[in-house]
Amino acid sequence: MNHYFSENPQTPYKEFSVVYELCGRKFISKTASGIFSPKRLDLGTKVLLEYIIKRSNLDMTNSSILDFGCGWGAISQVLGTFFPEANIYYTDINLRAFDLAKKNLNSFKNCFPEKSFLDVEGVFLDTKMTNIKNKYKFIISNPPIKSGKKALQVFTISALKALENNGQIFYVIHKNLGADSFVKWVNSYLLKAYNIGAVKVSSAKGYRIIVLKKQL
Ligand SMILES: C[S@@+](CC[C@H](N)C(=O)[O-])C[C@H]1O[C@@H](n2cnc3c(N)ncnc32)[C@H](O)[C@@H]1O
């Protein structure tokens, strides 16, 4: 079956442009059919980015960030402008999405030629993270909920392999799509197996922002 999380989407290629505004800044991206939310910035992604930028008090300057399941690249694009000194990496299993993110983020880098420090790079990680070279301080994701509960658990365990010891994972999940049961699963299974716990740090517009990190 053909989904937005298919590796090679079979949907005929149709290109779109998305213009969006976030925290007072305007962005433009190329998107296409066969990938997640090709016609607009997803509301969950918007809620997640607004939380990180306006409310979390997190300074991601000089940190390495992984945009895990990048889609057409909104998370990297936005974080790259708000934290231009961070090292941002993006990856996606869907090759069409990954290629679009690469195009968007390369042309975005060209808009700031004076900022040689703007570092946004694509890494193609296999789904089990066996080819991982770097570990990341922050992993940010609007995870692929529609791929099912089991797949979300596997995705999360993969993310843990890429996380620095004192790092944090930020997820956005809709309350009607299993946010609370995901937190319960982390605080039972992942806590026992990896000493990783989850906290719901914010709720807005039906979405929960969930932070996963090592417990002291
Ligand atoms: C809900 S979408 C979010 C896309 C984008 N970050 C956004 O906010 O618009 C989840 C993304 O995760 C990707 N994905 C699913 N499983 C993955 C895996 N194992 N490794 C990397 N990406 C994956 C999907 O292809 C999809 O692009």
pLDDT digits (tens, 9 = 90+) for 54-96: 988 888 888 999 999 999 999 999 998 888 888 888 889 899 9
Closest atom of ligand 1 to CA, residue 127: 19
Is residue 130 a part of any domain in this protein? yes
Q: Is the C-beta atom of 162 inside 6 A of ligand 1? A: no
Could you tell me if residue 36 is inside a domain?
Answer: no
What pLDDT, in 10s, does the model give residues 40-53?
999 999 999 999 99
What are the residues facing 90 on neighbouring strands?
67, 122
Whether residue 7 lies inside any domain: the answer is no
Distance CA 185, CA 203 (A): 19
Give strand pairing partners of 31.
Answer: 16
**pLDDT tens digits for range 8-38:** 878 889 999 999 999 999 999 999 999 999 9
Ligand 1 atom nearest to CA at 146 = 1
Strand ranges for 33-147 from DSSP E: 64-68, 87-91, 119-122, 136-141
Task: Confirm whether 10 is domain-assigned.
Answer: no
90 occurs within a structural domain:
yes
pLDDT at res. 207: 98
- Evaluate whether residue 8 is within a structural domain: no
| 32 Cβ inside 6 Å of ligand 1 | no
Please tell me if the CB atom of residue 101 comes closer than 6 angstroms to any atom of ligand 1: no
49 lines ligand 1 (CB under 6 A): no
- Secondary structure (DSSP) of 104-163: HHHHHHHT-TT-TT-EEEE----TT-TT----EEEEEE---GGG-HHHHHHHHHHHHHTE
Domain that holds residue 197: 42-214
- pLDDT > 90? residue 122: no
Give the confidence band of 118 by pLDDT, cuts at 50, 70, 90: very low
Report the separation in Å between the CA atom of 57 and the middle of ligand 1, taken as the mean of its atom positions: 26
Contact 98, 89 (CB under 8 A): no
Which token pair is 138? 């922050």
CA atoms within 13 A on the CB side of 55: 10
Task: Look at ligand 1, atom 19, and give the residue with the nearest C-alpha.
Answer: 127
Per the structure, the count of domains in the chain is: 1
Q: Is 17 part of a structural domain of the chain?
A: no
Give dist(CA 138, CA 169) in Å, integer: 6
CATH code for the domain in which residue 204 is found: 3.40.50.150
Asked if residue 13 belongs to a domain, the reply is: no
